[in-house]
Structure 1
Amino acid sequence: MSSEQRLLRTGAAVVSLAGLLLIGLGISGIFSDEPEPGPVAATNPVPSVPGVPSGKVAAPMRAAKPTAVYIPSIGVAAPLMELGLDAQGAIENPPFDPPNQAGWYRYGPVPGQRGAAVITGHLDTRSGPAVFANLKNVKRGDQVQVMRADRSVAVFVVDKVEHAPKRSFPVRKVYAKLTYPGLRLVTCGGTFDRQVHSYVDNTIVYAHLAAPYYPKS
């Protein structure tokens, strides 16, 4: 299989992921016209790592399984589970319960290694907001910290936030063959289409590895 064929196959899986997320995440607005509830409270909020240069791209880190993701600016502190492919060849979704659960696509790069690592999370559930309810509020320069099994932390800095229509998901940008360690965070966004019970957009955060961090304790 050529590299282009592999990319297109991956693209089909990503588009399927977008569709599945959009269907599964539009539940909270179906049964009520009440305002959407606030974001999920972080169970273990952490501060930004000081002294990290936002413009610097760090060298790749050694491979280590990611275990949690922290986004200090929006109060996210969530465990990470591994996500594979389902029977239809689409990326699996994290479970709705607990809502504060994100997932890492295990067939892609490990966060901290060279390439575009992908982490996904739900926007909301039937009962309220989920882990990436406030992902749209992330700004350029914000930190995204990925805790790893070797106790190291891959500290990423956000380059941009994109709101892409579901029908034109930017496959090649999300799954780009990067020459540096990158990260993409993906969830649903935009308005909710009650006719098809799905959101019309995806929110995508692009980030680069700025520094490895090794906590003393």
Structure 2
Amino acid sequence: MLIFFRDRRNGFLAVAAVAALLLTGCAQGLSAAPGTGAAGPSSSSSPSVSSSRTAPSAGPTPASASAPTPGATSRPANGPVPMKESAPVSINIPALDTRSDLLHLGLREDRTLDVPPGDPGSPASWYDQSPTPGEQGPAILLGHVNATDGGPGVFAGLRDLVPGDTVQVARADGSTAVFTVERAEQYSKVTFDTQAVYGNTEGPELRLITCDGYNVFTGEFDDNYVVFATLVA
């Protein structure tokens, strides 16, 4: 399986052969190269952002379920200046009452994605080949939707986020990068839109990624759920 990642040192998308299984019950496999024609959101009976809560009136208008044009960005016209590089320490999502330290994980020597140790449902992790949260480009945070004991994972509540909700990422330099949720998409892992999720952006953005689309016949997740957020402070 192929997973695309951003080479932070050289500023372009690179590809590595990765067995992207995080833990039993939550496979984070992401595939499909940008420009191949295979990319694009899967059909889903769910809207782009599914929640019983009402989006705050001050929040942005939800986007359609279609993937954005490659290279497009949701950065506001007068968005904040990108922050300097600083490793993320923790994440706080007030609307979900979710807080987690952030591991810094990359690839093992065998090119497989490193797996969080300890509790199988948490903590969340930052993919260390992506920009640090607040820097120019899309910072990638991964979290489990469930735990091997049957309980919820750290990102189990992502579907309850609505446009206008905030995501706060504390950084090693003492600053906090604050993002506003713009939209969310459910992608089949077979037709995962790599360009939309990992592609270059004009401003600092954030991606929260977990599993979705549980298959009762295989006991695995067929989809990924991705929350798109933009830096506001």
Output the TM-score relative to the length of structure 2.
0.68
Deviations 1:3-61 (A, max 9, x none): 9xx63615x54xx43xx1485428xxxxxxxxxxxxxxxxxxxxxxxxx9865521101
Residue of structure 2 equivalent to 1:38 = none
Residue of structure 1 equivalent to 2:190 = 167
1:7 aligns with 2:30: no
Percent pairwise identity = 38
- What is the Cα deviation at residue 111 of structure 1? 0.5
Residue of structure 2 equivalent to 1:39 = none
- What is the Cα deviation at residue 179 of structure 1? 2.0
1:178 aligns with 2:179: no
Residues 75 and 118 (structure 1 numbering): CA distance in 2 closer, same or farther, change over 3 Å? same
Residue of structure 2 equivalent to 1:25 = 26
Asked if the contact 1:119/1:184 (under 8 Å) is kept, the reply is: yes
Residue of structure 2 equivalent to 1:36 = none
CA separation in 2, counterparts of 1:196 and 1:87?
29
Deviations 1:69-118 (A, max 9, x none): 01111111000010111344243233351633000011110101001110
Asked if the contact 2:25/2:221 (under 8 Å) is kept, the reply is: no
Q: Which runs of 4+ in 1 moved over 3 A?
A: 21-24, 52-56
- RMSD (Å) for aligned C-alpha atoms: 2.4
- What is the Cα deviation at residue 150 of structure 1? 1.4
1:203 aligns with 2:209: no
Of Structure 1 and Structure 2, the greater helix share is in: 1
Residue of structure 2 equivalent to 1:93 = 115
CA separation in 1, counterparts of 2:185 and 2:127?
20
1:140 aligns with 2:146: no
Asked if the contact 1:22/1:188 (under 8 Å) is kept, the reply is: no
Residue of structure 2 equivalent to 1:42 = none
CA separation in 2, counterparts of 1:138 and 1:75?
11
Unaligned runs of 5+ in 2: 1-6, 28-57, 61-75
Asked if the contact 1:132/1:187 (under 8 Å) is kept, the reply is: yes
Residues 108 and 194 (structure 1 numbering): CA distance in 2 closer, same or farther, change over 3 Å? same
Residues 58 and 157 (structure 1 numbering): CA distance in 2 closer, same or farther, change over 3 Å? same
Output the TM-score relative to the length of structure 1.
0.73
Asked if the contact 1:114/1:180 (under 8 Å) is kept, the reply is: yes
- What is the Cα deviation at residue 149 of structure 1? 1.1
CA separation in 2, counterparts of 1:155 and 1:166?
29
